[in-house]
Chain A
Amino acid sequence: MASTAAPPGAVGKSPPRPDGPAKVTGATRYVDDLALPGMWHGATVRCPYPAARLLRLDPAPALAADPEVVVLTARDLPGPNVIQLIADDWPVLAAERVNHACEPVALVAAPTRARALAAAARVVVEAEELPAVLTLDEALRGDPRAGGQQPLVLAACTVERGDVEAGLAGADLIIEGSYETGHQEHIYIETHGAIGIWHGEEAGLEVIGSLQCPYYVHKALVRLFGLPPERVRVRQAPTGGGFGGKEDFPNVICAHAALLSRRCGRPVKIVYDRHEDIIATTKRHPSRVRHRTGVRRDGTLVAQDIEVLLDGGAYVTLSPVVLSRAVLHAGGPYRCPNVRIRGRVLATNTPPNGAFRGFGAPQTQFAAERHMDRIARALGLDPLAIRERNAYRPGDVTPTGQRLDASTNALECLRAAAERTRFRERWRAIERERARGRPDDGQPWQGIGLALVWHGSGFTGDGERRLGARAGVRLLPGGRLEVLAASTDFGQGTSAVFCQLVADAAGVPLEQVQVHEPDTAAVPDSGPTVASRTVMIVGGVLQRAAAQLRARLLAFAAERAGLKAERLRLVGGQVLDPQDRVVASFAELADAYLAAGGEASWIAQHQPPPEIRFDEKTYQGTAYPAYGWCCDVVEVRVDPDTLAVRPERVTIAADVGRAIHPVLCAGQLEGGTLQALAWGYLEEIKLERGRYLNDRLQTYIIPTVLDTPDMETILIENPTPASPSGAKGVGELPMDCGAPAIVAAIENATGIAVHALPASPERLLEARRAGQVVQPQHAGA
């Protein structure tokens, strides 16, 4: 008898990620590491004004200095001057009107990057500056593009449940607050880059890029070049970080590289240096959120009236979707019978804002969490008590009327993090200490704070139904399996997780599975790699495809052995009969099957259950198929003299449904948490006349390892019925939680209440001087 003990599956373990060895040895080739024969380099000519009428673009000086270079403007486009996304307002190259600082107006290609940059600097841009709208306040006062009397609204939506006014009228107490957040830059360590390869009208266009969504780029290029879809091929190179930043903007840089390539008849590469990457690419939307909340004395929420304003920058990009997520998460993970959330995105003459991890939810949940702390203080409750009272339980109903399922783990996360850190005891002790008064001796102040958030996994509303994600598995000789999906790995470990899911679903060892490079010519459209949807939705589709493959091969084996297919099992790469005897190895079976001419690919499509419906007009229904829950407890030390904040320790308790690969899962949580903390206290963009002043890594400050706290991650697994594996999205969840948690910890340490991010020492000082100080809570609540 062969050794037939079923090897335990791959899911739930943390095997080394398949792309790891190439990355630690420097062998991985990112866009800028690729050199194609005959390749030229592209550069971008930009207009410095935030709003202007373009008068003249003169390439003559550039051509005079270097006759070989190629210069291209909006006049040279083969198709509509539109970056395909949601609206058609974003031009590939500004033609008449410039709507934000550093907007591209022309492109240059040359044999070397240095020559391209030199030529771009010589192209003369003549423009007449126009009045510009640079802040949300200015936008509210009126935008010339909307006639001057009113804001230019790029998107709007409202969620309503119950009767807010009646709820407020019946409340014991109404508490109001206004909260603001600023721009955030992604700072993926690999900057944007793309290579355009024009193969001629017949053979079409190929683009290799650092990107998250190959099919977004594909769609944009098909439209711009007027080519049939099969003549446009988009390939994702290994991508050095994305965080949402490579969701929308690759449509721009890939179009630029492709245009230059078509014009030059040779491959053209554009890679931004860090400075250009910061000034030119999308950022997180700045926000202003107002809360008016009715509560009972015991802390129970009875009405939430919330107004969300986002600064969209110059163009629509993905703002409607960002707003929708912002609004749907704006109440926080709390039940409330009467809710009204109204959201708008306003245009300004600043570079367009777009996708960034969390997609609007971090902004609104910063406001929601700070507001909860404000309510708690007003009622004499501690931060834990107010949340325990209001956090969603299974069966509760959200503002869209969605009844939450059994995997609603807000309380579990809250309690796990609080217990692990002895939160209540320590928070109260520090409040008492502040009440007693501390010696002014330069000794650091300790503080502890927490935040609780939720994050919907998958597309908002009916997005998944409309998309119908397709993905599959191909059988290769030797019984190897190849994952076919357009989902990209830009660090999260998608490839590793796909291999695990497919290996288990097919019944083969993990080593037998590999992932095909995301390439629109070779893989089906599994949708963009965004919205925490990849493992849950695409992973589920892959599991179905792999199960189909398994069934087909077992049937084939049964035919050969003259047995009934139901009697055979495929385990660990072996086909077993009911007596656990090996009938065949998967490898020989696969070879025989392929030799017999069996089909080699199984493509499955995502089908959301019919009862899951969302009405985009009324904003009622199932907003998301599943929700992740997360509680952070942040411990800080604040220097009383400099107000410099050091996060010392973070405890993250997150419900991820099922941790397919616990190490990668924790990695997502920790990485997202650090981005969130830094957005909370460190990262800032100041603007001057619509230009970012923090436009280099020397001035845009992200944390070094010395700034980073020790982190402990507690994974809470309560599988969601919404995905076959039980996994929920984990990528964005932590981004919602860190900022309010660290600001709460700073408040506990200093008594200074900050309502605008970042809680930098400068802002803390300003707030203290403005009297934004909370009374210590010392009575036992």
Chain B
Amino acid sequence: MQEAIAVSDTVRFTVNGEPRCWQGEPMARLLDVLRYELGLTGTKEGCGEGECGACTVLLDGEPVCACLVPMLQCEGRAVQTIEGLGGADRLEPVQRAFVEAGGVQCGACTPGLVLTAWALLQREPRPDRARMREALAGNLCRCTGYERILRALEHTIAARQGGGAPAAGTGEATP
């Protein structure tokens, strides 16, 4: 019986939409596989214990800490990393707002924060500050004091609603 359900050392999953077939230690951290095996270094490690959110990726669309996800549990699942969002030439509105509103300083927290913020704005069109704070609380930033990060989200929402391009200059609609 055991053999029938033993997981082979192969994990099939997708990363940013691309099917991947990975082999190795089942308890390997998704974070290490992304960074050191797939070369997707946009996902950062700030603590290795779920506290900082620098390693945030979307697992079937939900933000999780990649430092606390074993490869074993990636079978059949969709992983989205920061590299799967807009590239430098086609930034998502929220990415552009981060740059323009001053939500980026050293950038070490940024990929994780951008993904969490993007996931929030995908779910809720108009979160208020309290709701933003709750959603972003798993992403530590030591540089900005967060104020400009909150403003980046507010700018994104305003741009989306107003259609025009207000302060943050983000005129596009989210797909």
Asked if B114 is at the interface of the complex by the 8 Å CB criterion, the answer is: yes
Q: Identify the closest chain B residue to A677 (Cβ).
A: B145
B143 near A671: Cβ-Cβ < 8 Å: yes
B79 to chain A, nearest CB (A): 14
Produce 1/0 per residue, B131-150, CB < 8 A to A.
Answer: 01110111111111111111
B108 near A20: Cβ-Cβ < 8 Å: no
A21 near B47: Cβ-Cβ < 8 Å: no
B54 near A706: Cβ-Cβ < 8 Å: no
Q: Within the assembled complex, what's the spacing in Å between the Cα atoms of A238 and B44?
A: 13
B121 to chain A, nearest CB (A): 14
Q: Which of A640-672 contact B (CB under 8 A)?
A: 663-664, 666-667, 670-672
Q: Within the assembled complex, what's the spacing in Å between the Cα atoms of A493 and B105?
A: 7
Q: Identify the closest chain A residue to B141 (Cβ).
A: A189
Asked if B104 is at the interface of the complex by the 8 Å CB criterion, the answer is: yes
Q: Taking A26-B41, A26-B111 as contacts, is the C-beta distance between A189 and B91 under 8 angstroms?
A: no
B33 to chain A, nearest CB (A): 14
Q: Identify the closest chain A residue to B99 (Cβ).
A: A20
- The listed residue (B88, B98, B109, B150) touching A27 by CB distance below 8 A is B88
Asked if B26 is at the interface of the complex by the 8 Å CB criterion, the answer is: no
A190 near B46: Cβ-Cβ < 8 Å: yes
B143 near A17: Cβ-Cβ < 8 Å: no
Q: Which residues of B contact A188 (CB under 8 A)?
A: 106, 108, 142
B82 near A26: Cβ-Cβ < 8 Å: yes
Q: Which residues of B contact A189 (CB under 8 A)?
A: 44, 46, 52, 54, 106, 108-109, 140-143
Asked if A137 is at the interface of the complex by the 8 Å CB criterion, the answer is: no
A273 near B48: Cβ-Cβ < 8 Å: yes
Q: Taking A20-B98, A26-B111, A671-B143 as contacts, is the C-beta distance between A705 and B149 under 8 angstroms?
A: yes
Of the candidates A25, A186, A274, A492, the one having the most CB atoms from chain B within 10 angstroms of its own CB is: A25
B99 near A711: Cβ-Cβ < 8 Å: no
Q: Which of B78-136 contact A (CB under 8 A)?
A: 81-83, 85-88, 91, 95-96, 98-102, 104-111, 114, 129, 132-134, 136
B42 near A16: Cβ-Cβ < 8 Å: no
A491 to chain B, nearest CB (A): 3
Q: Taking A22-B88, A27-B42 as contacts, is the C-beta distance between A711 and B106 under 8 angstroms?
A: no
B144 near A670: Cβ-Cβ < 8 Å: yes
B146 near A24: Cβ-Cβ < 8 Å: no
A670 near B148: Cβ-Cβ < 8 Å: yes
A241 near B108: Cβ-Cβ < 8 Å: yes
Q: Within the assembled complex, what's the spacing in Å between the Cα atoms of A663 and B167?
A: 12
Q: Taking A188-B106, A663-B148 as contacts, is the C-beta distance between A705 and B136 under 8 angstroms?
A: yes
Q: Which of B44-89 contact A (CB under 8 A)?
A: 44-49, 51-52, 54, 81-83, 85-88
A711 near B145: Cβ-Cβ < 8 Å: yes
B95 near A24: Cβ-Cβ < 8 Å: yes
Q: Which of A8-24 contact B (CB under 8 A)?
A: 14, 16-17, 19-24
Asked if B156 is at the interface of the complex by the 8 Å CB criterion, the answer is: no
B17 to chain A, nearest CB (A): 16
B140 near A704: Cβ-Cβ < 8 Å: yes
Produce 1/0 per residue, A589-619, CB < 8 A to B.
Answer: 0000000000000000000000000000000
A674 near B146: Cβ-Cβ < 8 Å: yes
Asked if A490 is at the interface of the complex by the 8 Å CB criterion, the answer is: yes
Q: Which residues of B contact A710 (CB under 8 A)?
A: 129, 147
Q: Within the assembled complex, what's the spacing in Å between the Cα atoms of A697 and B137?
A: 14
Q: Within the assembled complex, what's the spacing in Å between the Cα atoms of A664 and B99?
A: 11
Q: Which of A29-37, A378-386, A535-543 forms part of the interface with chain B?
A: A29-37
- The listed residue (A16, A28, A493) touching B100 by CB distance below 8 A is A16
Interface residues on B, range: 35 or more
A25 near B85: Cβ-Cβ < 8 Å: yes
Q: Which residues of A contact B142 (CB under 8 A)?
A: 186-189, 241, 243, 671, 675, 702
A614 to chain B, nearest CB (A): 32
Interface residues on A, range: 35 or more
A667 near B107: Cβ-Cβ < 8 Å: no
Asked if A348 is at the interface of the complex by the 8 Å CB criterion, the answer is: no
Q: Which residues of B contact A670 (CB under 8 A)?
A: 144-148
A241 near B106: Cβ-Cβ < 8 Å: yes
B133 to chain A, nearest CB (A): 5
A708 near B145: Cβ-Cβ < 8 Å: yes
Q: Which residues of B contact A697 (CB under 8 A)?
A: 46-47, 49, 51-52, 140
Q: Within the assembled complex, what's the spacing in Å between the Cα atoms of A671 and B144?
A: 4
Asked if A698 is at the interface of the complex by the 8 Å CB criterion, the answer is: yes
Q: Identify the closest chain B residue to A23 (Cβ).
A: B107
Q: Taking A189-B108, A190-B108 as contacts, is the C-beta distance between A26 and B145 under 8 angstroms?
A: no
A21 near B91: Cβ-Cβ < 8 Å: yes
A775 to chain B, nearest CB (A): 34
Q: Identify the closest chain A residue to B40 (Cβ).
A: A26
A491 near B47: Cβ-Cβ < 8 Å: no
Q: Which of A174-199 contact B (CB under 8 A)?
A: 186-191
- The listed residue (B82, B129, B136) touching A25 by CB distance below 8 A is B82
B107 near A28: Cβ-Cβ < 8 Å: yes
Asked if A460 is at the interface of the complex by the 8 Å CB criterion, the answer is: no
Q: Which residues of B contact A478 (CB under 8 A)?
A: none
A317 to chain B, nearest CB (A): 21
Q: Identify the closest chain B residue to A665 (Cβ).
A: B102
A705 near B146: Cβ-Cβ < 8 Å: yes
Q: Which residues of A contact B35 (CB under 8 A)?
A: 32-33
Asked if A696 is at the interface of the complex by the 8 Å CB criterion, the answer is: yes
Of the candidates B85, B137, B144, the one having the most CB atoms from chain A within 10 angstroms of its own CB is: B144
Asked if A239 is at the interface of the complex by the 8 Å CB criterion, the answer is: yes
B88 to chain A, nearest CB (A): 4
Q: Which residues of B contact A142 (CB under 8 A)?
A: none
Q: Which residues of B contact A671 (CB under 8 A)?
A: 105, 142-145
A706 near B95: Cβ-Cβ < 8 Å: no
B47 near A238: Cβ-Cβ < 8 Å: no
Q: Within the assembled complex, what's the spacing in Å between the Cα atoms of A666 and B143?
A: 12
Q: Which residues of B contact A26 (CB under 8 A)?
A: 40-43, 81-83, 110-111
A25 near B104: Cβ-Cβ < 8 Å: no
A424 to chain B, nearest CB (A): 26
Q: Which residues of A contact B146 (CB under 8 A)?
A: 670, 674, 705, 708
Asked if A673 is at the interface of the complex by the 8 Å CB criterion, the answer is: yes
Q: Within the assembled complex, what's the spacing in Å between the Cα atoms of A19 and B40?
A: 19
A732 to chain B, nearest CB (A): 14
Q: Within the assembled complex, what's the spacing in Å between the Cα atoms of A14 and B100?
A: 8
Q: Which residues of A contact B137 (CB under 8 A)?
A: 704-706
Q: Within the assembled complex, what's the spacing in Å between the Cα atoms of A23 and B143?
A: 14
Q: Which residues of B contact A32 (CB under 8 A)?
A: 35, 41, 45
Q: Which residues of A contact B47 (CB under 8 A)?
A: 274, 696-697
A179 to chain B, nearest CB (A): 25
Q: Within the assembled complex, what's the spacing in Å between the Cα atoms of A673 and B146?
A: 11
Produce 1/0 per residue, A673-707, CB < 8 A to B.
Answer: 11100000000000000000000111000101110
Q: Identify the closest chain A residue to B92 (Cβ).
A: A24
Q: Within the assembled complex, what's the spacing in Å between the Cα atoms of A491 and B145?
A: 13
- The listed residue (B51, B85, B110) touching A23 by CB distance below 8 A is B110
Q: Within the assembled complex, what's the spacing in Å between the Cα atoms of A683 and B140?
A: 14
Asked if A444 is at the interface of the complex by the 8 Å CB criterion, the answer is: no
B165 to chain A, nearest CB (A): 13
Q: Within the assembled complex, what's the spacing in Å between the Cα atoms of A24 and B109?
A: 10
**Interface on A for B, CB 8 Å cutoff?**
14, 16-17, 19-30, 32-33, 35, 186-191, 238-243, 273-274, 490-493, 663-664, 666-667, 670-675, 696-698, 702, 704-706, 708, 710-711
Known: A23-B111, A25-B88, A189-B44. 11 other contacts (CB 8 A): A16-B99, A21-B88, A25-B82, A28-B107, A33-B41, A189-B54, A189-B140, A191-B46, A663-B102, A671-B142, A704-B140
Q: What 9 A-B pairs come out closest when comparing CB atoms?
A: A26-B42, A240-B108, A491-B106, A20-B99, A23-B107, A670-B145, A26-B82, A491-B105, A33-B41
A/B interface sample: 19 pairs, CB < 8 A: A17-B99, A21-B88, A25-B83, A26-B40, A30-B44, A189-B46, A189-B109, A238-B107, A491-B105, A666-B102, A670-B147, A671-B145, A696-B51, A697-B46, A697-B51, A704-B138, A705-B133, A705-B150, A708-B145
